[in-house]
Amino acid sequence: MTAACGGTNITLEAGRDAKVCTNNSVCTEDSKETEEPEPTAEPFPTEIEPAEPAPSVSPSGDDEEGEGIPVSVQLSSGHLPEGLKDSPDSCSMGMCTWWNREDIVMGNDTFDTGFYVKCQLLCRDSERGIFEVKLAGKYSSLDATFGISADSTSDDKTETLKVTMTNQGTGKILYSKTLEYGKSYPIKGFDISGVGLLQITFEGPLGGTRGAVGAPVIHK
């Protein structure tokens, strides 16, 4: 047979049983031709690790825990979660209890908002104004500042008010303080855990001496 190599023809003699090696074959010592194996590509991985989910953020910007309950709530903000307010936010039978009174001043402290209570009709020497907060046992602590509002109209600045916080479910008095004009009485991290209905009561001459709670906040 004749083979071409670099433009030159070469004549090869082969016996009957001889094997001719071509460019794409491999000749073994016994002159048997074997095909070179085709290269195989590495298998492409089919499983991809899932990405970690991004942490969720409450639309309001506040962290929330379980059942969508806010971690902290300012009770005098005017935007309370449904069900927390369990007493009137108005005047009734001559007694006014306002949940969102602006510019509360007590002694040297000023608050943007707060509770405010006063008597404006047929007021006696001792009247009671009540705020009730339905906690349902979901909150553990309270921050607030109690006092007599600086806009009280009484000429007698020695008049005092008594403020009391009560667990209505058990009747237990949690806090009691006699308030004097020109002073403020802050509490921070006050324990209200397990309280279902919290009652805040002001008692005294509310016709001219007005009670107030500066920026009350409850926490889970």
State the pLDDT at residue 47: 53
The reply to whether 147 and 211 lie within a common domain is yes
State the pLDDT at residue 107: 95
Q: What is the pLDDT along the chain (220 residues), one digit of tens a residue?
A: 554 445 545 444 545 454 554 555 454 444 444 455 555 555 545 555 554 543 333 333 344 444 567 799 999 988 888 899 999 999 999 999 999 999 999 999 999 999 999 999 999 999 999 999 999 999 999 999 999 999 999 999 999 999 999 999 999 999 999 999 999 999 999 999 999 999 999 999 999 999 999 999 999 9
Residue 47 located in a structural domain: no
Alpha carbons 169 and 176: distance in angstroms, whole number: 17
The reply to whether 26 and 103 lie within a common domain is no
Residue 154 located in a structural domain: yes
Domain count for the chain? 2
Residue 190 located in a structural domain: yes
The reply to whether 30 and 77 lie within a common domain is no
Alpha carbons 11 and 53: distance in angstroms, whole number: 73
State the pLDDT at residue 128: 97
Residue 50 located in a structural domain: no
Residue 137 located in a structural domain: yes
Alpha carbons 24 and 183: distance in angstroms, whole number: 104
State the pLDDT at residue 63: 47
The reply to whether 18 and 100 lie within a common domain is no
Residue 27 located in a structural domain: yes
CATH number at residue 141: 2.60.120.1060
State the pLDDT at residue 122: 92
Q: Which domain holds residue 117?
A: 73-219
Which of 208, 207, 200 is closest to 166 using CA atoms? 200
Alpha carbons 68 and 70: distance in angstroms, whole number: 6
